[in-house]
Amino acid sequence: MTQPHDGAQPVEGGLVAEVEQMTEEQRAEHFAEVAEVVAPDRDIAVDVGQTLLRLQDVTVRFGGLVALDSVSFGIRRGEILGLIGPNGAGKTTCFNAMTGVYRPSSGQVLLEDKPLGKANRHVITQRGIARTFQNIRLFGEMTALENVVVGADARHKTSVLGALLRLPRHHREERQAVDRAMALLEFVGIADRAAEKAKNLPYGYQRRLEIARALATEPKLLCLDEPAAGFNPAEKEELMGLIRTIRDDGYTVLLIEHDMKLVMGVTDRIVVLEFGKKIAEGLPAEIRENPAVIAAYLGVPDDDVA
């Protein structure tokens, strides 16, 4: 075992304390470095606006219940797409159909024009779709850092034999994974609790940790399932900032959210579901004015009814 730290700076208070003592400029520089590690392969600049993921007439049936009824829409590279709808509209089912948790009863999901078909869930992740969960599902007994490294492992190739004998690839991947995971923890703002077990983290930290873990899989599309559930307005504001930064770093984001203010404020386009059907798709301003959406989701103003 080598001694910790490569000698650039003494490990007085560690990185977290160091950042706190930086001047504004140093801090900006530091976070630029962090962003570089967080999103190493940003290919957004070349083909923003191309369709990344497309749902084609996706239907999901559970016995007699039709949870999704031939839903079609596309997600464009580099955008934040909001997926909204009243409770039970099929938002999470839609998520699950995309990430391989359910197989569509008919229709298909295409990632970069190639159908996901019967690919296993972990293969779908490796092809570039990552998600968070509505009800947080972290690996509770692992530390925050270890949770994120599990995400990074999705891209690793070390074999069991390689790990057993600690071959060079294992060392290289471990080093890179830990560096990246620490950068991601800093990026989502929870680096100070990196060594704590996930289950002992405060609720807001757990939500952010889920995002960091999903980002660690280097996704092309990041799906966030109600990431702001249970947040107070200030925390929601912060989260909106984080989601925008993620998009600016080259990720495409699909966002399920109940909070109208958050959805309208952060998304580029919105798809509205009701009873498993798509009832509207468009810019936030259009959605706000759309009578079908207002009736279904935002509620019909009393004076209109009269």
Cα(15)–Cα(145) distance, integer angstroms:
14
Residue number with CB closer to another protein (3 or 23)? 3
Determine, following the binding rule CB under 8 A, whether residue 130 of this chain makes contact with another protein: yes
* Contact positions with another protein (CB under 8 A) in 12-31: 12-17
Least distance (Å) from another protein to the CB of residue 252? 18
Determine, following the binding rule CB under 8 A, whether residue 169 of this chain makes contact with another protein: no
Cα(104)–Cα(9) distance, integer angstroms:
54
Cα(45)–Cα(64) distance, integer angstroms:
45
Cα(154)–Cα(221) distance, integer angstroms:
15
Instruction: Give a three-class secondary structure readout of 97-154.
Output: HHCCCCCCCEEEEEECCEECCCCCHHHHHHHCEEECCCCCCCCCCCEHHHHHHHHHHC
Number of H helices and number of E strands within the chain? 13, 10
Which of 202, 233, 241, 291 is the binder for another protein (CB under 8 A)? Answer: 202
Determine, following the binding rule CB under 8 A, whether residue 213 of this chain makes contact with another protein: yes
Determine, following the binding rule CB under 8 A, whether residue 226 of this chain makes contact with another protein: no
Cα(229)–Cα(271) distance, integer angstroms:
19
Which of 230, 233, 241, 291 is the binder for another protein (CB under 8 A)? Answer: 230
Which of 89, 188, 201, 212 is the binder for another protein (CB under 8 A)? Answer: 201
CB distance 37 to 187 below 8 Å: no
Which of 66, 119, 178, 298 is the binder for another protein (CB under 8 A)? Answer: 178
Which of 150, 260, 279, 298 is the binder for another protein (CB under 8 A)? Answer: 150
Total residues binding another protein (CB under 8 A): 70
Dihedral of the alpha carbons of 92, 93, 97, 102, in degrees to the nearest 10: 120
| Cα-Cα end-to-end distance for the chain | 77
Determine, following the binding rule CB under 8 A, whether residue 242 of this chain makes contact with another protein: no
Residues near another protein (CB under 8 A): 1-2, 4-5, 11-17, 99-101, 120-122, 125-126, 130-131, 133, 135-143, 145-146, 149-151, 153-156, 158, 160, 163-166, 170-171, 173-175, 178, 182, 185, 191-192, 194-197, 199-203, 206, 213-214, 217, 230
